[in-house]
Structure 1
Protein backbone atom coordinates (compact mmCIF):
# COMPACT_ATOMS: atom_id res chain seq x y z
CA UNK A 1 0.00 0.00 0.00
CA UNK A 2 1.35 3.41 -1.00
CA UNK A 3 1.43 6.06 1.73
CA UNK A 4 1.51 9.71 0.67
CA UNK A 5 2.18 12.67 2.96
CA UNK A 6 -0.95 14.81 3.29
CA UNK A 7 0.73 18.04 2.07
CA UNK A 8 1.54 16.32 -1.25
CA UNK A 9 -2.01 15.14 -1.95
CA UNK A 10 -3.42 18.41 -3.43
CA UNK A 11 -0.53 18.62 -5.92
CA UNK A 12 -0.99 14.98 -6.93
CA UNK A 13 -4.72 15.51 -7.40
CA UNK A 14 -4.02 18.66 -9.40
CA UNK A 15 -1.72 16.76 -11.77
CA UNK A 16 -4.36 14.04 -12.11
CA UNK A 17 -7.04 16.58 -13.00
CA UNK A 18 -4.85 18.36 -15.56
CA UNK A 19 -4.04 15.08 -17.28
CA UNK A 20 -7.24 13.03 -16.98
CA UNK A 21 -9.86 15.80 -16.69
CA UNK A 22 -8.51 18.47 -18.99
CA UNK A 23 -10.33 21.66 -17.95
CA UNK A 24 -10.35 23.10 -21.47
CA UNK A 25 -12.45 20.12 -22.54
CA UNK A 26 -14.52 19.01 -19.56
CA UNK A 27 -15.20 22.43 -18.03
CA UNK A 28 -16.11 23.87 -21.43
CA UNK A 29 -18.41 20.92 -22.08
CA UNK A 30 -20.12 21.21 -18.70
CA UNK A 31 -20.53 24.98 -19.07
CA UNK A 32 -22.01 24.83 -22.57
CA UNK A 33 -24.23 21.88 -21.71
CA UNK A 34 -25.84 23.63 -18.74
CA UNK A 35 -26.19 26.97 -20.55
CA UNK A 36 -27.80 25.33 -23.57
CA UNK A 37 -30.12 23.10 -21.54
CA UNK A 38 -31.23 25.89 -19.23
CA UNK A 39 -31.50 28.49 -21.98
CA UNK A 40 -33.57 26.29 -24.28
CA UNK A 41 -35.77 25.08 -21.42
CA UNK A 42 -36.72 28.67 -20.59
CA UNK A 43 -36.99 30.17 -24.08
CA UNK A 44 -38.97 27.20 -25.41
CA UNK A 45 -41.78 28.38 -23.14
CA UNK A 46 -41.66 31.85 -24.70
CA UNK A 47 -39.97 33.49 -21.71
CA UNK A 48 -36.74 35.52 -21.74
CA UNK A 49 -33.59 33.92 -20.31
CA UNK A 50 -30.37 35.25 -18.85
CA UNK A 51 -27.73 33.31 -16.88
CA UNK A 52 -27.98 33.88 -13.12
CA UNK A 53 -26.37 32.90 -9.85
CA UNK A 54 -28.47 29.73 -9.91
CA UNK A 55 -27.01 28.98 -13.35
CA UNK A 56 -23.51 29.23 -11.90
CA UNK A 57 -24.39 26.73 -9.16
CA UNK A 58 -25.73 24.30 -11.76
CA UNK A 59 -22.60 24.68 -13.91
CA UNK A 60 -20.24 24.11 -10.98
CA UNK A 61 -22.31 21.14 -9.80
CA UNK A 62 -22.30 19.47 -13.22
CA UNK A 63 -18.56 20.02 -13.74
CA UNK A 64 -17.78 18.62 -10.28
CA UNK A 65 -20.08 15.67 -10.96
CA UNK A 66 -18.21 14.97 -14.20
CA UNK A 67 -14.93 15.06 -12.27
CA UNK A 68 -16.40 12.69 -9.67
CA UNK A 69 -17.37 10.27 -12.45
CA UNK A 70 -13.96 10.55 -14.10
CA UNK A 71 -12.27 9.65 -10.81
CA UNK A 72 -14.66 6.75 -10.46
CA UNK A 73 -13.88 5.49 -13.97
CA UNK A 74 -10.16 5.56 -13.21
CA UNK A 75 -10.71 3.11 -10.36
CA UNK A 76 -13.32 1.02 -12.15
CA UNK A 77 -11.08 0.44 -15.19
CA UNK A 78 -7.90 -0.31 -13.23
CA UNK A 79 -7.56 -3.96 -14.26
CA UNK A 80 -8.08 -3.12 -17.94
CA UNK A 81 -5.66 -0.20 -17.74
CA UNK A 82 -2.93 -2.34 -16.18
CA UNK A 83 -2.86 -4.33 -19.41
CA UNK A 84 -3.74 -1.79 -22.09
CA UNK A 85 -2.90 1.62 -20.55
CA UNK A 86 0.07 1.10 -18.21
CA UNK A 87 0.86 4.83 -18.18
CA UNK A 88 -2.41 5.85 -16.46
CA UNK A 89 -1.91 7.69 -13.13
CA UNK A 90 -3.54 5.04 -10.95
CA UNK A 91 -1.48 2.29 -12.57
CA UNK A 92 1.82 4.13 -12.20
CA UNK A 93 1.12 5.28 -8.64
CA UNK A 94 0.97 8.96 -9.58
CA UNK A 95 -2.32 8.89 -7.68
CA UNK A 96 -3.82 6.32 -5.31
CA UNK A 97 -7.33 4.95 -5.04
CA UNK A 98 -7.51 6.34 -1.51
CA UNK A 99 -6.69 9.84 -2.73
CA UNK A 100 -9.33 9.61 -5.43
CA UNK A 101 -11.95 8.34 -2.99
CA UNK A 102 -11.11 11.16 -0.59
CA UNK A 103 -11.50 13.71 -3.39
CA UNK A 104 -14.81 12.14 -4.38
CA UNK A 105 -16.05 12.49 -0.80
CA UNK A 106 -15.07 16.17 -0.79
CA UNK A 107 -16.87 16.69 -4.12
CA UNK A 108 -20.00 15.03 -2.73
CA UNK A 109 -20.01 17.30 0.31
CA UNK A 110 -19.31 20.32 -1.90
CA UNK A 111 -22.13 19.78 -4.39
CA UNK A 112 -24.53 18.89 -1.58
CA UNK A 113 -23.73 22.15 0.19
CA UNK A 114 -23.98 24.19 -3.00
CA UNK A 115 -27.38 22.81 -3.88
CA UNK A 116 -28.72 22.98 -0.33
CA UNK A 117 -28.64 26.74 -0.86
CA UNK A 118 -31.18 26.25 -3.65
CA UNK A 119 -33.57 23.47 -2.58
CA UNK A 120 -33.88 19.94 -1.25
CA UNK A 121 -34.96 18.86 -4.74
CA UNK A 122 -31.68 20.09 -6.20
CA UNK A 123 -29.73 18.15 -3.56
CA UNK A 124 -31.64 14.94 -4.19
CA UNK A 125 -31.26 15.16 -7.96
CA UNK A 126 -27.49 15.79 -7.98
CA UNK A 127 -26.86 13.13 -5.31
CA UNK A 128 -28.96 10.67 -7.34
CA UNK A 129 -26.60 11.15 -10.31
CA UNK A 130 -23.50 10.59 -8.15
CA UNK A 131 -25.14 7.62 -6.44
CA UNK A 132 -25.97 5.95 -9.74
CA UNK A 133 -22.34 6.37 -10.79
CA UNK A 134 -21.21 4.60 -7.61
CA UNK A 135 -23.44 1.64 -8.48
CA UNK A 136 -21.59 1.01 -11.75
CA UNK A 137 -18.43 -0.44 -10.18
CA UNK A 138 -20.15 -3.22 -8.16
CA UNK A 139 -22.47 -3.83 -11.12
CA UNK A 140 -19.51 -4.47 -13.42
CA UNK A 141 -17.91 -6.76 -10.83
CA UNK A 142 -21.15 -8.73 -10.52
CA UNK A 143 -21.78 -8.79 -14.27
CA UNK A 144 -18.41 -8.67 -16.16
CA UNK A 145 -20.20 -8.44 -19.51
CA UNK A 146 -21.18 -4.84 -18.65
CA UNK A 147 -17.50 -3.85 -18.76
CA UNK A 148 -16.49 -6.18 -21.58
CA UNK A 149 -19.29 -5.42 -24.05
CA UNK A 150 -19.17 -1.74 -25.08
CA UNK A 151 -22.80 -1.44 -26.18
CA UNK A 152 -24.12 -3.03 -23.01
CA UNK A 153 -21.74 -0.90 -20.96
CA UNK A 154 -23.03 2.25 -22.67
CA UNK A 155 -26.65 1.28 -22.01
CA UNK A 156 -25.86 0.83 -18.32
CA UNK A 157 -23.59 3.89 -17.91
CA UNK A 158 -25.43 6.51 -19.99
CA UNK A 159 -28.19 7.10 -17.40
CA UNK A 160 -25.61 9.03 -15.37
CA UNK A 161 -25.57 11.70 -18.08
CA UNK A 162 -29.35 11.59 -18.27
CA UNK A 163 -29.62 12.10 -14.51
CA UNK A 164 -27.36 15.16 -14.71
CA UNK A 165 -29.64 16.57 -17.40
CA UNK A 166 -32.65 15.81 -15.19
CA UNK A 167 -30.85 17.62 -12.35
CA UNK A 168 -30.53 20.82 -14.39
CA UNK A 169 -34.11 20.69 -15.68
CA UNK A 170 -35.53 19.58 -12.34
CA UNK A 171 -33.72 22.45 -10.63
CA UNK A 172 -35.46 24.88 -12.99
CA UNK A 173 -38.83 23.28 -12.21
CA UNK A 174 -38.17 23.39 -8.45
CA UNK A 175 -37.34 27.08 -8.73
CA UNK A 176 -40.55 27.78 -10.61
CA UNK A 177 -38.61 28.97 -13.67
CA UNK A 178 -40.29 26.46 -15.98
CA UNK A 179 -43.25 24.11 -15.77
CA UNK A 180 -42.50 20.52 -16.71
CA UNK A 181 -44.20 19.44 -19.95
CA UNK A 182 -43.46 17.50 -23.15
CA UNK A 183 -40.60 19.84 -23.97
CA UNK A 184 -38.58 18.29 -21.16
CA UNK A 185 -38.47 14.97 -23.04
CA UNK A 186 -37.50 16.70 -26.31
CA UNK A 187 -34.77 18.72 -24.59
CA UNK A 188 -33.26 15.74 -22.76
CA UNK A 189 -33.44 13.74 -26.00
CA UNK A 190 -31.59 16.56 -27.79
CA UNK A 191 -28.79 16.46 -25.21
CA UNK A 192 -28.69 12.66 -25.41
CA UNK A 193 -28.38 12.68 -29.20
CA UNK A 194 -25.61 15.28 -29.14
CA UNK A 195 -23.46 13.45 -26.59
CA UNK A 196 -24.16 9.99 -28.04
CA UNK A 197 -23.10 11.17 -31.49
CA UNK A 198 -19.75 12.12 -29.97
CA UNK A 199 -19.59 8.92 -27.90
CA UNK A 200 -20.13 6.70 -30.95
CA UNK A 201 -17.78 8.79 -33.09
CA UNK A 202 -14.88 8.35 -30.68
CA UNK A 203 -15.36 4.57 -30.65
CA UNK A 204 -16.01 3.92 -34.32
CA UNK A 205 -13.20 2.86 -36.64
CA UNK A 206 -12.57 0.56 -39.57
CA UNK A 207 -9.87 -1.29 -37.63
CA UNK A 208 -9.79 -2.13 -33.90
CA UNK A 209 -6.42 -1.68 -32.12
CA UNK A 210 -5.57 -4.33 -29.47
CA UNK A 211 -7.52 -3.77 -26.27
CA UNK A 212 -9.79 -1.13 -27.81
CA UNK A 213 -13.42 -1.26 -26.77
CA UNK A 214 -15.11 0.00 -29.93
CA UNK A 215 -18.78 0.03 -30.84
CA UNK A 216 -17.79 -0.71 -34.43
CA UNK A 217 -16.31 -4.04 -33.33
CA UNK A 218 -19.73 -5.42 -32.46
CA UNK A 219 -21.83 -3.50 -34.99
CA UNK A 220 -19.40 -3.37 -37.87
CA UNK A 221 -17.99 -0.07 -39.19
CA UNK A 222 -20.88 0.59 -41.57
CA UNK A 223 -23.65 0.11 -39.04
CA UNK A 224 -21.72 1.99 -36.36
CA UNK A 225 -21.39 4.90 -38.79
CA UNK A 226 -25.13 4.79 -39.46
CA UNK A 227 -25.89 4.90 -35.73
CA UNK A 228 -23.41 7.77 -35.24
CA UNK A 229 -25.02 9.79 -38.03
CA UNK A 230 -28.48 8.81 -36.77
CA UNK A 231 -27.87 10.44 -33.41
CA UNK A 232 -26.93 13.69 -35.16
CA UNK A 233 -30.13 13.48 -37.19
CA UNK A 234 -32.09 12.86 -33.99
CA UNK A 235 -30.62 16.03 -32.51
CA UNK A 236 -31.90 18.02 -35.49
CA UNK A 237 -35.40 16.57 -35.10
CA UNK A 238 -35.43 17.60 -31.44
CA UNK A 239 -34.20 21.08 -32.34
CA UNK A 240 -37.02 21.50 -34.86
CA UNK A 241 -39.59 20.44 -32.26
CA UNK A 242 -38.19 22.88 -29.70
CA UNK A 243 -37.23 25.86 -31.86
CA UNK A 244 -39.60 25.89 -34.86
CA UNK A 245 -42.42 27.67 -32.96
CA UNK A 246 -40.06 30.62 -32.36
CA UNK A 247 -39.58 31.28 -36.10
CA UNK A 248 -36.97 30.53 -38.80
CA UNK A 249 -34.12 32.31 -36.98
CA UNK A 250 -34.52 29.90 -34.06
CA UNK A 251 -33.54 27.00 -36.33
CA UNK A 252 -29.97 28.26 -36.77
CA UNK A 253 -28.55 25.62 -34.36
CA UNK A 254 -29.66 23.01 -36.89
CA UNK A 255 -26.85 24.17 -39.18
CA UNK A 256 -24.42 22.43 -36.83
CA UNK A 257 -25.63 19.17 -38.42
CA UNK A 258 -23.39 19.97 -41.39
CA UNK A 259 -20.45 18.91 -39.23
CA UNK A 260 -21.55 15.29 -38.58
CA UNK A 261 -22.70 15.07 -42.20
CA UNK A 262 -19.15 15.97 -43.27
CA UNK A 263 -17.68 13.54 -40.73
CA UNK A 264 -19.89 10.70 -41.95
CA UNK A 265 -18.94 11.33 -45.57
CA UNK A 266 -15.22 11.41 -44.75
CA UNK A 267 -15.36 8.22 -42.68
CA UNK A 268 -17.26 6.22 -45.28
CA UNK A 269 -15.18 7.53 -48.17
CA UNK A 270 -11.88 6.72 -46.44
CA UNK A 271 -12.71 3.07 -45.77
CA UNK A 272 -9.96 2.94 -43.15
CA UNK A 273 -8.86 4.64 -39.96
CA UNK A 274 -11.03 6.18 -37.26
CA UNK A 275 -13.96 8.59 -37.35
CA UNK A 276 -12.77 12.19 -37.89
CA UNK A 277 -13.26 13.12 -34.24
CA UNK A 278 -12.83 16.92 -34.66
CA UNK A 279 -16.15 17.03 -36.53
CA UNK A 280 -17.92 15.30 -33.63
CA UNK A 281 -16.33 17.60 -31.04
CA UNK A 282 -17.22 20.64 -33.13
CA UNK A 283 -20.82 19.39 -33.41
CA UNK A 284 -21.17 19.29 -29.61
CA UNK A 285 -19.64 22.75 -29.20
CA UNK A 286 -21.55 24.32 -32.10
CA UNK A 287 -24.93 22.87 -31.09
CA UNK A 288 -24.69 23.87 -27.44
CA UNK A 289 -23.06 27.24 -28.08
CA UNK A 290 -25.57 28.19 -30.80
CA UNK A 291 -28.45 27.11 -28.56
CA UNK A 292 -27.19 29.14 -25.60
CA UNK A 293 -26.51 32.26 -27.70
CA UNK A 294 -29.88 31.98 -29.38
CA UNK A 295 -31.58 31.67 -25.99
CA UNK A 296 -30.04 35.02 -24.99
CA UNK A 297 -30.90 36.74 -28.28
CA UNK A 298 -34.49 35.55 -28.68
CA UNK A 299 -37.04 38.12 -27.44
Structure 2
Protein backbone atom coordinates (compact mmCIF):
# COMPACT_ATOMS: atom_id res chain seq x y z
CA UNK A 1 0.00 0.00 0.00
CA UNK A 2 2.80 2.43 0.87
CA UNK A 3 4.65 1.68 -2.38
CA UNK A 4 1.44 2.19 -4.35
CA UNK A 5 0.71 5.49 -2.62
CA UNK A 6 4.22 6.77 -3.29
CA UNK A 7 3.99 5.73 -6.94
CA UNK A 8 0.59 7.40 -7.28
CA UNK A 9 2.00 10.62 -5.85
CA UNK A 10 4.49 10.72 -8.72
CA UNK A 11 1.84 10.45 -11.44
CA UNK A 12 1.00 14.19 -11.71
CA UNK A 13 4.68 15.02 -12.19
CA UNK A 14 5.07 12.25 -14.78
CA UNK A 15 2.00 13.50 -16.64
CA UNK A 16 3.31 17.05 -16.44
CA UNK A 17 6.62 16.04 -18.02
CA UNK A 18 4.72 14.12 -20.70
CA UNK A 19 2.60 17.16 -21.53
CA UNK A 20 5.60 19.48 -21.70
CA UNK A 21 7.40 17.13 -24.06
CA UNK A 22 4.64 15.75 -26.27
CA UNK A 23 1.98 18.49 -26.02
CA UNK A 24 3.93 21.75 -25.57
CA UNK A 25 1.43 24.20 -24.05
CA UNK A 26 2.79 27.17 -25.99
CA UNK A 27 1.80 25.35 -29.19
CA UNK A 28 -1.33 23.42 -28.22
CA UNK A 29 -2.91 26.17 -26.12
CA UNK A 30 -2.04 28.87 -28.63
CA UNK A 31 -3.51 26.83 -31.49
CA UNK A 32 -6.74 26.04 -29.64
CA UNK A 33 -7.10 29.64 -28.46
CA UNK A 34 -6.58 31.22 -31.88
CA UNK A 35 -8.67 28.57 -33.66
CA UNK A 36 -11.68 28.98 -31.37
CA UNK A 37 -11.46 32.79 -31.34
CA UNK A 38 -11.13 32.97 -35.12
CA UNK A 39 -13.95 30.50 -35.77
CA UNK A 40 -16.32 31.89 -33.14
CA UNK A 41 -15.68 35.53 -33.99
CA UNK A 42 -16.11 34.98 -37.71
CA UNK A 43 -19.30 32.95 -37.26
CA UNK A 44 -20.82 35.67 -35.08
CA UNK A 45 -19.92 38.60 -37.32
CA UNK A 46 -21.07 36.78 -40.45
CA UNK A 47 -24.41 36.38 -38.71
CA UNK A 48 -24.52 40.12 -38.05
CA UNK A 49 -23.87 39.93 -34.30
CA UNK A 50 -21.41 42.07 -32.36
CA UNK A 51 -18.77 39.78 -30.91
CA UNK A 52 -16.45 39.76 -27.95
CA UNK A 53 -15.06 36.69 -26.16
CA UNK A 54 -17.35 35.58 -23.33
CA UNK A 55 -17.28 33.07 -20.51
CA UNK A 56 -18.69 30.49 -22.92
CA UNK A 57 -15.80 31.25 -25.31
CA UNK A 58 -13.25 30.31 -22.66
CA UNK A 59 -15.09 27.07 -21.90
CA UNK A 60 -14.86 26.19 -25.59
CA UNK A 61 -11.16 27.05 -25.64
CA UNK A 62 -10.44 24.89 -22.59
CA UNK A 63 -12.53 22.06 -24.04
CA UNK A 64 -10.60 22.10 -27.32
CA UNK A 65 -7.25 22.22 -25.48
CA UNK A 66 -8.25 19.22 -23.38
CA UNK A 67 -9.61 17.37 -26.42
CA UNK A 68 -6.30 17.89 -28.26
CA UNK A 69 -4.44 16.61 -25.19
CA UNK A 70 -6.77 13.59 -25.04
CA UNK A 71 -6.05 12.81 -28.69
CA UNK A 72 -2.29 13.22 -28.20
CA UNK A 73 -2.39 10.74 -25.31
CA UNK A 74 -4.43 8.38 -27.45
CA UNK A 75 -1.97 8.61 -30.35
CA UNK A 76 0.97 7.81 -28.05
CA UNK A 77 -0.66 4.51 -27.15
CA UNK A 78 -1.89 3.79 -30.67
CA UNK A 79 1.59 4.37 -32.14
CA UNK A 80 3.53 2.43 -29.49
CA UNK A 81 4.66 -0.43 -31.74
CA UNK A 82 5.82 2.02 -34.43
CA UNK A 83 7.58 4.22 -31.88
CA UNK A 84 9.49 1.28 -30.40
CA UNK A 85 11.21 0.92 -33.77
CA UNK A 86 11.44 4.48 -35.06
CA UNK A 87 11.18 6.70 -31.95
CA UNK A 88 12.72 4.77 -29.02
CA UNK A 89 13.08 7.96 -26.96
CA UNK A 90 9.32 8.61 -26.70
CA UNK A 91 7.99 8.72 -23.09
CA UNK A 92 5.73 5.69 -23.41
CA UNK A 93 8.55 3.62 -24.92
CA UNK A 94 11.10 4.58 -22.25
CA UNK A 95 8.66 4.11 -19.38
CA UNK A 96 8.63 7.79 -18.45
CA UNK A 97 4.84 7.37 -18.55
CA UNK A 98 2.66 4.28 -18.69
CA UNK A 99 -0.41 3.46 -20.75
CA UNK A 100 -2.40 3.08 -17.54
CA UNK A 101 -1.45 6.59 -16.44
CA UNK A 102 -2.40 8.02 -19.82
CA UNK A 103 -5.74 6.22 -19.79
CA UNK A 104 -6.44 7.56 -16.32
CA UNK A 105 -5.69 11.09 -17.51
CA UNK A 106 -7.94 10.57 -20.54
CA UNK A 107 -10.80 9.47 -18.28
CA UNK A 108 -10.28 12.58 -16.13
CA UNK A 109 -10.30 14.79 -19.22
CA UNK A 110 -13.57 13.22 -20.36
CA UNK A 111 -15.19 14.01 -17.01
CA UNK A 112 -13.90 17.60 -17.03
CA UNK A 113 -15.08 18.44 -20.55
CA UNK A 114 -18.45 16.83 -19.83
CA UNK A 115 -18.96 18.96 -16.71
CA UNK A 116 -17.73 22.15 -18.41
CA UNK A 117 -20.01 21.76 -21.40
CA UNK A 118 -23.01 20.69 -19.34
CA UNK A 119 -22.76 24.19 -17.86
CA UNK A 120 -23.28 25.63 -21.34
CA UNK A 121 -25.96 23.40 -22.86
CA UNK A 122 -27.08 19.79 -22.93
CA UNK A 123 -26.34 19.94 -26.67
CA UNK A 124 -22.70 20.82 -26.14
CA UNK A 125 -21.90 17.62 -24.24
CA UNK A 126 -22.52 15.17 -27.11
CA UNK A 127 -20.87 17.60 -29.54
CA UNK A 128 -17.53 17.44 -27.70
CA UNK A 129 -17.81 13.78 -26.70
CA UNK A 130 -18.42 12.60 -30.26
CA UNK A 131 -14.96 13.92 -31.21
CA UNK A 132 -13.36 11.97 -28.36
CA UNK A 133 -15.30 8.82 -29.22
CA UNK A 134 -14.31 9.10 -32.87
CA UNK A 135 -10.67 9.37 -31.80
CA UNK A 136 -11.05 6.26 -29.65
CA UNK A 137 -12.48 4.34 -32.60
CA UNK A 138 -9.31 4.86 -34.64
CA UNK A 139 -7.19 2.40 -32.62
CA UNK A 140 -9.37 -0.69 -33.22
CA UNK A 141 -9.96 0.47 -36.79
CA UNK A 142 -6.20 0.52 -37.46
CA UNK A 143 -5.86 -2.96 -35.99
CA UNK A 144 -8.58 -4.24 -38.32
CA UNK A 145 -7.18 -2.36 -41.34
CA UNK A 146 -3.34 -2.11 -41.18
CA UNK A 147 -3.40 -0.20 -44.48
CA UNK A 148 -4.49 2.87 -42.51
CA UNK A 149 -1.01 2.99 -40.99
CA UNK A 150 0.89 1.84 -44.06
CA UNK A 151 -0.78 4.31 -46.45
CA UNK A 152 -0.37 7.87 -45.13
CA UNK A 153 -3.02 9.49 -47.30
CA UNK A 154 -5.62 6.87 -46.41
CA UNK A 155 -4.70 7.24 -42.74
CA UNK A 156 -5.16 11.01 -42.96
CA UNK A 157 -8.54 10.63 -44.65
CA UNK A 158 -9.74 8.49 -41.74
CA UNK A 159 -8.05 10.41 -38.90
CA UNK A 160 -8.69 13.99 -40.04
CA UNK A 161 -12.44 14.05 -39.28
CA UNK A 162 -11.67 14.29 -35.56
CA UNK A 163 -10.37 17.82 -36.21
CA UNK A 164 -13.47 18.60 -38.23
CA UNK A 165 -15.64 17.32 -35.38
CA UNK A 166 -13.92 19.72 -32.98
CA UNK A 167 -14.68 22.57 -35.37
CA UNK A 168 -18.30 21.39 -35.54
CA UNK A 169 -18.36 21.37 -31.73
CA UNK A 170 -17.41 25.06 -31.59
CA UNK A 171 -19.85 26.05 -34.32
CA UNK A 172 -22.61 23.80 -32.99
CA UNK A 173 -22.13 25.25 -29.51
CA UNK A 174 -22.68 28.74 -30.94
CA UNK A 175 -25.84 27.57 -32.68
CA UNK A 176 -27.11 25.93 -29.49
CA UNK A 177 -26.46 29.15 -27.57
CA UNK A 178 -28.41 31.19 -30.13
CA UNK A 179 -25.32 33.22 -31.00
CA UNK A 180 -25.51 32.25 -34.68
CA UNK A 181 -28.03 30.66 -37.03
CA UNK A 182 -26.77 27.61 -38.87
CA UNK A 183 -26.50 28.10 -42.63
CA UNK A 184 -24.18 27.37 -45.55
CA UNK A 185 -21.73 30.06 -44.43
CA UNK A 186 -20.96 27.87 -41.45
CA UNK A 187 -19.91 25.06 -43.78
CA UNK A 188 -17.64 27.42 -45.72
CA UNK A 189 -16.13 28.71 -42.48
CA UNK A 190 -15.41 25.16 -41.32
CA UNK A 191 -13.88 24.45 -44.74
CA UNK A 192 -11.64 27.51 -44.30
CA UNK A 193 -10.38 26.17 -40.97
CA UNK A 194 -9.92 22.71 -42.51
CA UNK A 195 -7.79 24.12 -45.34
CA UNK A 196 -5.61 26.04 -42.88
CA UNK A 197 -5.01 22.92 -40.78
CA UNK A 198 -4.42 20.66 -43.79
CA UNK A 199 -1.86 23.09 -45.21
CA UNK A 200 0.09 22.70 -41.97
CA UNK A 201 -0.47 18.93 -41.90
CA UNK A 202 0.85 18.42 -45.44
CA UNK A 203 3.73 20.85 -44.87
CA UNK A 204 5.01 18.91 -41.85
CA UNK A 205 5.05 15.70 -43.86
CA UNK A 206 6.54 17.03 -47.09
CA UNK A 207 10.28 16.69 -47.72
CA UNK A 208 12.69 15.98 -50.52
CA UNK A 209 14.05 12.94 -48.68
CA UNK A 210 11.99 10.14 -47.12
CA UNK A 211 13.58 8.50 -44.02
CA UNK A 212 12.32 4.99 -43.13
CA UNK A 213 9.16 5.03 -41.04
CA UNK A 214 8.56 8.75 -41.53
CA UNK A 215 5.17 8.26 -43.20
CA UNK A 216 5.57 11.34 -45.38
CA UNK A 217 2.89 12.35 -47.86
CA UNK A 218 5.67 13.35 -50.24
CA UNK A 219 6.91 9.75 -50.27
CA UNK A 220 3.57 8.79 -51.83
CA UNK A 221 2.91 11.81 -54.03
CA UNK A 222 6.46 12.84 -54.76
CA UNK A 223 7.84 16.17 -53.49
CA UNK A 224 6.48 18.33 -56.30
CA UNK A 225 2.95 16.94 -56.14
CA UNK A 226 3.02 17.26 -52.36
CA UNK A 227 3.98 20.92 -52.85
CA UNK A 228 0.99 21.40 -55.13
CA UNK A 229 -1.37 19.86 -52.57
CA UNK A 230 0.16 21.81 -49.68
CA UNK A 231 -0.11 25.09 -51.59
CA UNK A 232 -3.56 24.13 -52.81
CA UNK A 233 -4.91 23.97 -49.28
CA UNK A 234 -3.57 27.46 -48.57
CA UNK A 235 -5.25 28.67 -51.76
CA UNK A 236 -8.47 26.95 -50.65
CA UNK A 237 -8.36 28.86 -47.37
CA UNK A 238 -8.02 32.15 -49.24
CA UNK A 239 -10.89 31.22 -51.57
CA UNK A 240 -13.14 30.51 -48.59
CA UNK A 241 -12.21 33.87 -47.07
CA UNK A 242 -13.07 35.65 -50.31
CA UNK A 243 -16.43 33.86 -50.57
CA UNK A 244 -17.30 34.76 -46.98
CA UNK A 245 -15.93 38.25 -46.54
CA UNK A 246 -15.55 39.95 -49.95
CA UNK A 247 -19.08 41.44 -49.74
CA UNK A 248 -18.01 43.25 -46.56
CA UNK A 249 -15.37 45.34 -48.30
CA UNK A 250 -11.61 45.17 -48.92
CA UNK A 251 -10.64 45.61 -45.25
CA UNK A 252 -12.50 42.41 -44.40
CA UNK A 253 -10.07 40.53 -46.64
CA UNK A 254 -6.95 41.53 -44.68
CA UNK A 255 -6.62 37.97 -43.23
CA UNK A 256 -5.89 36.84 -46.81
CA UNK A 257 -2.47 38.49 -46.49
CA UNK A 258 -1.45 35.50 -44.36
CA UNK A 259 -1.23 33.61 -47.67
CA UNK A 260 2.11 35.33 -48.27
CA UNK A 261 3.60 32.86 -45.79
CA UNK A 262 2.69 29.72 -47.80
CA UNK A 263 3.89 31.47 -50.96
CA UNK A 264 7.25 32.11 -49.32
CA UNK A 265 7.37 28.56 -47.97
CA UNK A 266 6.66 27.09 -51.38
CA UNK A 267 9.34 29.17 -53.11
CA UNK A 268 11.91 28.36 -50.45
CA UNK A 269 11.18 24.61 -50.49
CA UNK A 270 11.46 24.43 -54.29
CA UNK A 271 14.62 26.56 -54.33
CA UNK A 272 16.53 24.64 -51.64
CA UNK A 273 15.63 21.17 -52.99
CA UNK A 274 16.61 19.29 -49.84
CA UNK A 275 15.26 18.82 -46.34
CA UNK A 276 11.68 19.48 -45.29
CA UNK A 277 9.16 22.24 -45.71
CA UNK A 278 10.09 25.44 -43.82
CA UNK A 279 7.72 24.87 -40.92
CA UNK A 280 7.94 28.44 -39.64
CA UNK A 281 5.89 29.51 -42.67
CA UNK A 282 3.26 26.78 -42.17
CA UNK A 283 2.96 27.42 -38.44
CA UNK A 284 2.84 31.15 -39.09
CA UNK A 285 0.04 30.69 -41.63
CA UNK A 286 -2.09 28.88 -39.04
CA UNK A 287 -1.42 31.44 -36.31
CA UNK A 288 -1.70 34.59 -38.43
CA UNK A 289 -4.86 33.46 -40.23
CA UNK A 290 -6.79 32.63 -37.06
CA UNK A 291 -5.47 35.70 -35.23
CA UNK A 292 -6.43 37.95 -38.13
CA UNK A 293 -9.91 36.41 -38.26
CA UNK A 294 -10.40 37.03 -34.54
CA UNK A 295 -9.07 40.61 -34.64
CA UNK A 296 -11.14 41.48 -37.68
CA UNK A 297 -14.25 40.20 -35.91
CA UNK A 298 -13.60 42.53 -32.98
CA UNK A 299 -12.59 45.57 -35.03
CA UNK A 300 -14.76 45.58 -38.16
CA UNK A 301 -18.57 45.71 -38.08
Shorter-chain TM-score tier: over 0.9
Q: 1:91 aligns to what?
A: 93
Provide the C-alpha distance between the structure 2 equivalents of 1:224 and 1:173, rounded to a whole number of angstroms. 36
**Structure 1: gaps (5+ residues):** none
1:14 and 2:38 are equivalent in the alignment: no
- Residues 1:269 and 1:15: Cα distance change in structure 2 (over 3 Å): same
Deviates more, 1:270-279 or 1:184-193: 270-279
Q: How does 1:127-146 map to 2 (within 5 A)?
A: 127-146=129-148
Rounded to whole Å, the distance in 1 between the matches of 2:149 and 2:211 is: 17
Q: Which stretches of structure 1, 4 residues or longer, exceed 4 Å deviation after superposition?
A: none
The one of 99, 102, 106 aligned to 1:100 = 102
User: How many residues are aligned here?
Assistant: 298
Give the alignment partner of residue 117 of structure 2, picking from 112, 115, 118. Answer: 115
SS in 2 for 1:5: helix
Within 1, Cα distance between the matches of 2:247 and 2:265?
Answer: 30
Residue 241 of structure 1 and its aligned partner are, at CA, apart by: 1.2
Counterpart for residue 276 of structure 1: 278
5 Å-filtered alignment, 1:206-225, equals: 206-225=208-227
Map residues 151-166 of structure 1 onto 2, 5 A cutoff: 151-166=153-168
The answer to whether residue 249 in structure 2 is matched with residue 242 in structure 1 is no
The aligned residue for residue 176 of structure 1 is: 178
C-alpha separation between the residues in 2 aligned to 1:31 and 1:257? Answer: 20
Whole-angstrom CA distance in 1 between matches of 2:85 and 2:5 = 24
- Take 1:4 and 1:147, find their aligned partners in 2: how far apart are those partners? 38
- Aligned residue for 1:288, secondary structure, equals helix
Contact 1:40–1:295, Cα closer than 8 Å, also in 2: yes
How far the C-alpha of 1:3 sits from its partner, in A, is 10
Q: What CA distance in whole angstroms lies between the structure 2 residues aligned with 1:235 and 1:280?
A: 13
SS in 1 for 2:297: helix
* Structure 2 Cα separation of the partners of residues 71 and 229 of structure 1: 30
How far apart in 2 are the matches of 1:134 and 1:297? Answer: 40
**For the Cα contact (< 8 Å) 1:146–1:152, is it kept in 2?**
yes
Give the conservation status (yes or no) of the 8 Å contact 1:48–1:298: no
Aligned partner of 1:82 in structure 2 is 84
How far off its partner does 1:210 sit?
2.0
How big is the alpha-carbon RMSD for the aligned residues of Structure 1 and Structure 2? Answer: 1.1
Deviations 1:133-188 (A, max 9, x none): 00000000110110121101100000000000000000000001000001111100
How far is the alpha carbon of 1:46 from its aligned partner?
A: 2.1
Question: Equivalent of 1:257, from 249, 256, 259?
Answer: 259
Residue-by-residue CA offset, 1:199-247 (whole Å, 9 max, x unaligned): 0000000111122110000000000000000000000000111111221
Which of 43, 46, 52 is equivalent to 1:44? 46
